[in-house]
Amino acid sequence: MAAVFNQIAIIGVGLIGGSIARAALEKGAAAEVVLFDGDAAALKRAGEIGFGKPAASIEAAVANADAVFHCVPVGAMGATARASIAAMKPGAILTDVGSVKGNIARDWHSLGRGDVHIIPGHPIAGTEKSGPDAGFASLFENRWCILTPESGGAADYVAATNKLAAFWTALGSKVERMDPARHDLVLAVTSHIPHLIAYNMVATAYDMEAVTEGEVVKFSAAGFRDFTRIAASDPTMWRDVFLNNKDAVLEVLGRFEEDLTALRKAIRNADGQKLFDTFTESRRIRREIIDAGQDTATANFGRDKPKE
């Protein structure tokens, strides 16, 4: 295929940045990939793996790029964008992969470079692993990528958004455009609160372990093991998600607490019908997710890293 971009820059060469770089080269979506990371060891490792050309500075990485992908934790997006935007060429695209969109969009649109197209984005794909070795080219296949462009942009901004969408499509993603606030509410439900619950469940079990002398770990059944996988996700990334999506997370958490109270009441009142109905509905939703191709019913949910 003809490359969508001649050159892209990846700032942050971890799981997501490394996967974009690998996929872009493997699928021919970019002719050239230039890399930068604040962590010198990670940048060196990315160069050794060979999914792009390491640059000496963030300015050098973005200077000739048609699109710059910021793939750092959400809390670092402001700093990396500020450090790089002045060195970008006119007409280039400034984008990201952060798990929260409202704060980044607000901050970036105030950066004052009208000749750079600012189009925040978020691929809904990932694993609990981090770092340059964790990425793989097929990560985005059949996964959604949400773009949150400004509404009512000029014709060249719309064309840039379409080009960025074409890039993600070339990586195998399905692309949807969304308002940043809506993105943050939807993701609070589907990703942020589930992670918070997993972190809390593991913390509770850890406390219990002291009481049960190791039995929580020894007899951990599939339910708890699945929680521990989610709760093994990167602490920096998730700290930043909760600090930057505070309003939506607190709103959804309120709803969650009400539903939990209803389940607690059903257990106390021996209301088997309420429990059965709730669990039956959950099973139906799981089926819908598998039918929609958002997960598989295979062992380990098919999440083993594919061989490259």
**Chain positions contacting ligand NAP, by CB under 6 A:** 11-17, 37-39, 42, 71-74, 76, 79-80, 97-99, 122-123, 126-127, 130-131, 234, 237
Compute the least distance from the CB of residue 70 to ligand NAP, in Å. 8
Residue 122 has φ and ψ, to the nearest 5°, of: -155, 105
* One-letter amino acid for residue 284 of the chain: R
Compute the least distance from the CB of residue 233 to ligand NAP, in Å. 7
CA angle (40, 44, 50) in 5-degree steps: 145
Q: Which one, 25 or 76, has the nearer CB to ligand NAP?
A: 76
Asked whether the CA dihedral 280, 285, 290, 296 is positive or negative, the reply is: negative
Compute the least distance from the CB of residue 237 to ligand NAP, in Å. 5
Q: How far apart are CA 50 and CA 35, in angstroms?
A: 10
Q: Which one, 131 or 153, has the nearer CB to ligand NAP?
A: 131
Do 32 and 14 touch, CB atoms closer than 8 A? no
Compute the least distance from the CB of residue 128 to ligand NAP, in Å. 7
Asked whether the CA dihedral 10, 12, 13, 16 is positive or negative, the reply is: negative
Q: Which one, 66 or 234, has the nearer CB to ligand NAP?
A: 234
List the strands of the sheet with 67-70, edge to edge.
Answer: 53-54, 30-36, 5-11, 67-70, 93-96, 117-118
Q: Which one, 37 or 66, has the nearer CB to ligand NAP?
A: 37
Q: Which one, 113 or 229, has the nearer CB to ligand NAP?
A: 229
Compute the least distance from the CB of residue 19 to ligand NAP, in Å. 8
